[in-house]
Amino acid sequence: QSVLTQPPSVSAAPGQKVTISCSGTSSNIGNNYISWYQQLPETAPKLLIYENDKRPSGIPDRFSGSKSGTSATLGITGLQTGDEADYYCGTWDSGLSAVVFGTGTKVTVL
C-alpha cells in the first residue's frame, strides 16, 4: 500500500532542475527519516538520499533531499539523460508498523 504520494511524472530539459515531492502524514514522514531511491530501467533500486538529506558516497551533489513537516522533496540539478528513471521515497510508518514507499515518479529528460 502506497501511503506516500508522489507526482506520477516530471520532466525537464538537459541541464535544468526538477523537484519531486513526497507527501505523507505525522505517522510517517513527520516523525521518521526519509530515504530516496533511483530505479533505472530494468535494474534494482539504488539508495540516493538517506536521513532526509544525506548522500551515500558516490552519489553526486546534483541530488539533494529535504524535509519539512509531513512532506519531503528530492531535487535533481544539472539534469542528464542518465537520470531518466523512476524515483521513490520511503520511510517507516509508526501507525502501520510498516515501511512505506511512495507511489513513484518517472523523470523524463526532454
Q: How many residues bind another protein (CB under 8 A)?
A: 27
For 37, the grid coordinates are: 531511491
Q: In whole angstroms, what separates CA 104 from the centre of its chain?
A: 8
Please give the grid coordinates belonging to residue 10: 516530471
User: Which residues, 20 to 49, sit near another protein by CB under 8 A?
Assistant: 32-33, 35, 37, 43-47
DSSP secondary structure, 87-103, as one string: EEEEEEETTTTEEEEB-
- Shortest gap between Cβ of 10 and another protein (angstroms)? 16
Nearer to another protein, 8 or 14 (CB): 8
The rounded distance, in Å, linking the Cα atoms of 56 and 16 is 23
Figure out which of the listed residues 61, 82, 97, 110 binds another protein, where binding follows CB under 8 A. 97
| Interacting residues with another protein (CB under 8 A) | 1-2, 32-33, 35, 37, 43-47, 50-51, 56, 88, 90-92, 96-104
